[in-house]
Structure 1
């Protein structure tokens, strides 16, 4: 049997020109008075995809999810699910289910009663309800907690009950609104992988809303970065991180160093940029830059080297002073203050237990990065 990891690694229907999207948002706008929470947005999601809507509070991601669920109506535009226009289809008739951040469990009901609630509302026969509840309890590994009530469970267990209740009706699409927000860091990290495995095992389409970058990067096949009701970029986690489409996306996902300058040369995908302090950078990833225009060089901190002396043959190098140091165990983060006052962040992996002659505060240091370490952005 093929492993879940192998299945997920080869999953990329968006690269197939013949693949039909399972969910379509076509020019969707949702206005509340004069405010457009979602602004002329178009987006496609594929069957069995784990899709993340990522953005700051107020960017429109939850409103988008609620329109798909049927709790809000678009002001204009269409939403299609498996080819069906959802206009006029009430929430209870849509083949989707939504798991809320608060979990919304009934406090007076047991775990099994909470899971069975939606099935009873659908008038499913009692024997089938019992079988389905047993399946869900086994799926989320809560068999021994069936008779307990929500207040007798941990946060992680309550999260699993809410998940089991959402899955009990066997929806085609599961919508998750900040599903792990109430969990502590370690439990949240463990649950991310459990959700990924569960999604692959069930073969469902998951759409998750989150403002947690790490959560989206870990779980999703693709991510839509949202800002002020619009989609700024849709891509895989690796593409979002390594090849952001704009300064907004580069700055929003992870830490980034940004250098503004004039493009001196741009040809064959390469570029040479001179920043405001006169330092020239040579880049292999020139993007769409053209000579004589303004562009921004974006470099992730882990691609920046920090040394006491200028490295031999370094192409992109600047001198400065160690301004701040943060020791994080697996890595050390340096803030280097350049001679013109700008701060550059560098993350250095602590691969050795002891570091001889380590840099400390106010030491002079050089930062440098390879020509293929950065990307040139024009917007």
Structure 2
């Protein structure tokens, strides 16, 4: 049986079908602002009905990429295609896209229903159609009882829903979301992420979201493009990004991880042996480099088991160290384990029971162990 990399959000993967044509295509796109290159010769395909995330730190080019699709910026080189049609020269108001901004940009003097209706009125739609669409949007975002309130009478989450409804009312082919949940508190942001997913699947629309919040991208996306310095480093599903990052940058950017400088010592059957300063480990992964090559061994804290006794199974990898620090986070605890050579591991343990007879605490000598398939070798 083939190995899998975590669950998928839904049975939807048009990018795996060679016969599928991309809905949006960035083709060798470069964007310069004077001498600064914001986007560098980037090619990317996004498929219809996909919830796609552009993820990266500030200044990586993700918002510039979205603004070029919306028509607010023009590429310096390359083309942007939507359903095979080149968008060059098409003004923003003529493009079948709509953008929801982080600030929401609601009209404070208008009621909720007037805010939603504004764009439709500007397009000259018949009054009855406007009324029907506004009613549909209010129902979709569950604000029927707030139609006559003004933005200052709403909570942050409700204002976010109004902005979403206004963006969807014009029925764009692509909804662009620029850090849409950044102003919400953590709990509300988490709840709204699931609401966005439900709305996107209910409408069958293509959503493109820009975010620097990795948890947000992992939650809502069918696929994620991780960006750095105007380039795409990896495009994959959330599970693939997390479990099989293609380089140190992606591994370190997504989630918490231990990255250990090592050397490739050779293959043992299907396994690879890596050598660190004071221990060796087997990794269930082929490694296409010659023995002696510098590599990095990467393993997530939750893949490491922590115990007061050495593991009974000789097939697992194990190292010993001292508990140096502990972060109790409620649902799990993170332990910082310092080894005699000075290297520190981070290991996470779920708090399965409210009370334990002998909790691991500061100063304890402990054993860390992991199976050969828990970590991976990074060659770049």
TM-score by length of structure 2 reads 0.96
Q: Is the 8 A contact 2:79 2:88 kept in 1?
A: yes
Q: What is the aligned partner in structure 2 of residue 121 from structure 1?
A: 122
Q: What is the aligned partner in structure 2 of residue 191 from structure 1?
A: 192
Q: What is the aligned partner in structure 2 of residue 3 from structure 1?
A: none
Within-5 A mapping of 1:167-186: 167-186=168-187
Deviations 1:238-273 (A, max 9, x none): 000000000000000000001111111136652101
Distance (whole Å) between structure 1 residues aligned to residue 175 and residue 302 of structure 2: 35
Q: Report deviation, 1:124.
A: 0.8
Q: Aligned with 2:132: secondary structure?
A: helix
Q: What is the aligned partner in structure 2 of residue 369 from structure 1?
A: 370
Q: What is the aligned partner in structure 1 of residue 4 from structure 2?
A: none
Mean Cα deviation higher: 225-234 or 352-361: 352-361
Q: Aligned with 1:226: secondary structure?
A: strand
Q: Aligned with 1:137: secondary structure?
A: helix
Within-5 A mapping of 1:283-322: 283-312=283-312, 313=314, 315-322=316-323
Within-5 A mapping of 1:328-339: 328-339=329-340
Stretches of structure 1 that go unaligned for 5 or more consecutive residues are 1-5
Q: Aligned with 2:135: secondary structure?
A: helix
Q: Report deviation, 1:233.
A: 0.2
Q: Report deviation, 1:310.
A: 1.7
Distance (whole Å) between structure 2 residues aligned to residue 179 and residue 231 of structure 1: 22
Inter-CA distance 287–133: structure 2 relative to 1 (3 Å threshold): farther
Q: Report deviation, 1:143.
A: 1.0
Tell whether 2:93 aligns with 1:92.
yes
Inter-CA distance 8–358: structure 2 relative to 1 (3 Å threshold): closer
Tell whether 2:62 aligns with 1:51.
no
Deviations 1:46-93 (A, max 9, x none): 000000000011111011000000000011011000100000011000
Inter-CA distance 318–8: structure 2 relative to 1 (3 Å threshold): closer
Inter-CA distance 162–55: structure 2 relative to 1 (3 Å threshold): same
Q: What is the aligned partner in structure 1 of residue 161 from structure 2?
A: 160
Q: Is the 8 A contact 1:287 1:375 kept in 2?
A: no
Q: Aligned with 1:207: secondary structure?
A: strand
Stretches of structure 2 that go unaligned for 5 or more consecutive residues are 1-6
Inter-CA distance 86–269: structure 2 relative to 1 (3 Å threshold): farther
Tell whether 2:12 aligns with 1:15.
no
Distance (whole Å) between structure 2 residues aligned to residue 266 and residue 40 of structure 1: 37
Inter-CA distance 110–67: structure 2 relative to 1 (3 Å threshold): same
Q: Aligned with 2:187: secondary structure?
A: helix
Q: Is the 8 A contact 2:278 2:341 kept in 1?
A: no
Q: Is the 8 A contact 1:262 1:274 kept in 2?
A: yes
Q: What is the aligned partner in structure 1 of residue 349 from structure 2?
A: 348
Distance (whole Å) between structure 2 residues aligned to residue 251 and residue 323 of structure 1: 22
Distance (whole Å) between structure 2 residues aligned to residue 367 and residue 329 of structure 1: 21
Q: Is the 8 A contact 2:112 2:146 kept in 1?
A: yes
- Alpha carbon RMSD of aligned pairs, Å? 1.4
Q: Report deviation, 1:205.
A: 0.1
Within-5 A mapping of 1:101-140: 101-140=102-141
Inter-CA distance 261–103: structure 2 relative to 1 (3 Å threshold): same
Within-5 A mapping of 1:137-148: 137-148=138-149
TM-score by length of structure 1 reads 0.96
Q: What is the aligned partner in structure 2 of residue 244 from structure 1?
A: 245
Q: Is the 8 A contact 1:269 1:287 kept in 2?
A: no
Q: Aligned with 1:319: secondary structure?
A: strand
Distance (whole Å) between structure 2 residues aligned to residue 53 and residue 374 of structure 1: 26
Deviations 1:16-52 (A, max 9, x none): 1111010000111111111111111111000000000
